[in-house]
Amino acid sequence: MGMKTLPIAEASRRGISGLISSAEAGQKVALSRHGRVVAEIVSAQEMNKLRKDRDTLRDAALVMARFATDSGVRTDLDQAMEDFGLTRAELEAELAAEIHSF
């Protein structure tokens, strides 16, 4: 269904109830001020779909950025611990102390 554009003054005359009924019926209503669209009224169902699509696009962008910047180099846990100057024994002792503190 297409989008209908209404000046805010006309939308005000129709009232909020009329605008909501249009949205519930699936009609998208754009509100304009001085000929420029400043807001849109859509159904809650449409808004949920838009939010889901936005989240999907964000996830896709993150995946694409990861692929574009991933050098393929991986570091295993032992190498990371060595780089940070830690040993397994130190980490295990710290974990044991934390568990016993509860």
- Encode pLDDT of 48-90 as tens digits: 999 999 999 999 999 999 999 988 888 888 888 989 999 999 9
The verdict on 45 and 28 lying in the same domain is: yes
The verdict on 79 and 36 lying in the same domain is: no
The verdict on 55 and 28 lying in the same domain is: yes
Q: Which domain holds residue 85?
A: 75-100
The verdict on 60 and 85 lying in the same domain is: no
State the pTM of this model. Answer: 0.56
1: pLDDT strictly greater than 70? no
pLDDT at residue 55, as a whole number: 96
Residue 99 half-sphere exposure toward CB, CA atoms < 13 A: 6
The verdict on 52 and 83 lying in the same domain is: no
The verdict on 49 and 87 lying in the same domain is: no
The verdict on 48 and 81 lying in the same domain is: no
Count of domains in the chain?
A: 2
Q: Which two tokens stand for residue 23?
A: 């949205």
Question: What is the distance between the alpha carbons of residues 28 and 20, in angstroms, rounded to a whole number?
Answer: 10
R_g of the chain, CA atoms, integer Å: 27
Whether the Cβ atoms of residue 87 and residue 94 lie closer than 8 Å to each other: no
Instruction: Give residue for tokens 């304009």.
Output: 32
Whether the Cβ atoms of residue 84 and residue 94 lie closer than 8 Å to each other: no
